[in-house]
Homo-oligomer: A and B are copies of this chain.
Amino acid sequence: MSFLTLSQTASAVLAETPKAEYGSFVLTSVLMTLVIIYAMSKLGGELSKRLNLPPVLGELVGGVVVGVSALHLLVFPEAGATAADSLLMTVLQWLGNLDAAAVTHIFQSQSEVVSVLAELGVIVLLFEIGLESDLRELTKVGSQAAVVAIVGVTLPFALGAVGLIALFHVPTIPAIFAGAALTATSIGITSKVLSELGHLKSTEGQIIVGAAVIDDVLGIIVLAVVASLAKTGEVDLLNVVYLIASASGFLLGAILLGKFFNQSFEVITEKLQTRGALLIPAFAFALAMAFLANIIHLEAILGAFAAGLVLDETDKRKELDQQIMPIADILVPIFFVTVGAKADLGVLNPAIAENREGLIIASFLIVVAIIGKIVTGWAVFGKPGVNRLAIGIGMIPRGEVGLVFAGIGSASGVLSKPLEAAIIVMVILTTFLAPPMLQWALKDQATDAVVELSVGD
């Protein structure tokens, strides 16, 4: 018998434990949310598959349908939504006969829980991608990946910022901010599409994943630079040096320690006799690495990816893959549907006057966003016959990273309304266009020998 429902039953009579009562409804609302998320991820994913598109695109669209753009079933307070904006909360209020204060509390808790579940989803996804990636393969293409990442950050940034200043007479600081938003690459979306298409282990796939990881680190640095520029007009050089040092130190340390840890890991798991003997140590290791990355101001997902790379070297890899898969199946869709739900397609509506200027700037940003990344493929050296177009396209989706840049730009107050809308439009379109484009670019290429990730059972 669970703690919370009993409390609810009792407090309905006693009316003296309001917090526990809220708690029970928090569980109720999370259960509702998860059922909606799974329904939409399957509806969208299957439809997408039937249309011969990557399933993750459908999951994103499924999120859009239930999100802030359409049904308002799944909205989040970060974007300014209140409990009254959430259709789910309205239903819950009616079902539970709750007052406004209770619903506000439940709405915030539900958003918090679902956000953490989504974060755990992308952590598990990157752990899985790390397990699927081969460290030796990845180091082989390391320098190519670095070049792709660096070109893919500098080119869109320069083209975007200069273009906005020259063509649209945008002031310098907002132009730099918009340029920064163009640098992002969504490692989550890009690696998910690659694994769905069975190209994660190809040279192209490994270059894209490697470049996306490096891009992620560069993105943190770019953001720190831009944010301090927006605030003080100066760059906090010490912070930049710290970020570069900690990022390099973390990734190299993880790889070097990997060999040592592998052996202890196998010794430990072989000694354990209770359920989850392999899974729990591996999962706890991934979470610990994610924690470590997070606490030194890197991304949690970088830690999980590094953990996957390390454990990929163990003999238990196959077995571990098998056990991580169902966990990824239930957690990863929460991430993608949530990303879709947070994308506000309202900015695409040309009927609203203030969107029009934004849409014009957006057209420019989208061209830069696509061209600036596509050309990165041609920066790859020493790999004749590599699919350069696919590599470039793989770097296009801005996804959740782009939404963060837009959100922070909005919070900092440096962006004008049209420019902010333009960035959001750019993010949304690159996110939704990249999966089908990548599929098209890879269509004539052989898939991975063992397509473990692309089929569920």
Interface, chain A (partner B; CB < 8 A):
1-17, 19-20, 23-24, 26-28, 30-32, 34-35, 38-39, 41-42, 45-46, 49-50, 55, 77-78, 95-96, 109, 112-113, 115-116, 119-120, 122, 184, 186-187, 216, 219-220, 223-224, 227-228, 230-231, 236, 239, 271-281, 283-284, 287-288, 290-291, 294-295, 297-301, 319, 323-327, 329-330, 333, 400-401, 403-405, 407-408, 411-413, 453-457
Tell me whether B275 and A329 are in contact (CB under 8 A).
yes
Tell me whether B239 and A6 are in contact (CB under 8 A).
no
A403 — which chain B residues lie within 8 A by C-beta?
A: 3
Tell me whether A216 and B287 are in contact (CB under 8 A).
no
Write the nearest CB–CB distance from A4 to chain B, whole angstroms: 6
Secondary structure at chain A's binding surface: helix, strand, loop or mixed?
Answer: helix
A330 — which chain B residues lie within 8 A by C-beta?
A: 276, 279-280, 283, 327
Q: For residue A39, which residue of chain B has the nearest CB?
A: B284
A220 — which chain B residues lie within 8 A by C-beta?
A: 1, 5-6, 9
Write the nearest CB–CB distance from A300 to chain B, whole angstroms: 6
Return the contact of A408 from the options B6, B34, B455 (Cβ within 8 A): B6
Tell me whether B227 and A13 are in contact (CB under 8 A).
yes
| Given A27-B116, A38-B283, A327-B327, 6 more pairs with CB closer than 8 A | A1-B187, A1-B401, A5-B300, A7-B408, A13-B228, A280-B329
Q: For residue A402, which residue of chain B has the nearest CB?
A: B1
The verdict on A227 contacting B408 (CB below 8 Å), with A2-B119, A278-B457, A457-B279 known, is no
Return the contact of A28 from the options B7, B11, B291, B301 (Cβ within 8 A): B291
The verdict on A301 contacting B1 (CB below 8 Å), with A78-B20, A281-B42 known, is yes
Tell me whether A457 and B277 are in contact (CB under 8 A).
yes
A377-B150 Cα distance, complex, nearest whole Å: 72
A421-B2 Cα distance, complex, nearest whole Å: 21
Write the nearest CB–CB distance from A48 to chain B, whole angstroms: 8
A4 — which chain B residues lie within 8 A by C-beta?
A: 115, 119
Tell me whether B323 and A457 are in contact (CB under 8 A).
yes
Return the contact of A113 from the options B11, B113, B186, B411 (Cβ within 8 A): B113
A408 — which chain B residues lie within 8 A by C-beta?
A: 6-7, 10-11, 14, 17
The verdict on A14 contacting B231 (CB below 8 Å), with A7-B407, A279-B329, A281-B42 known, is yes
Return the contact of A9 from the options B3, B227, B271 (Cβ within 8 A): B227
A5 — which chain B residues lie within 8 A by C-beta?
A: 220, 294, 297-300
A50 — which chain B residues lie within 8 A by C-beta?
A: 273
The verdict on A231 contacting B13 (CB below 8 Å), with A290-B31, A294-B5, A330-B283 known, is yes
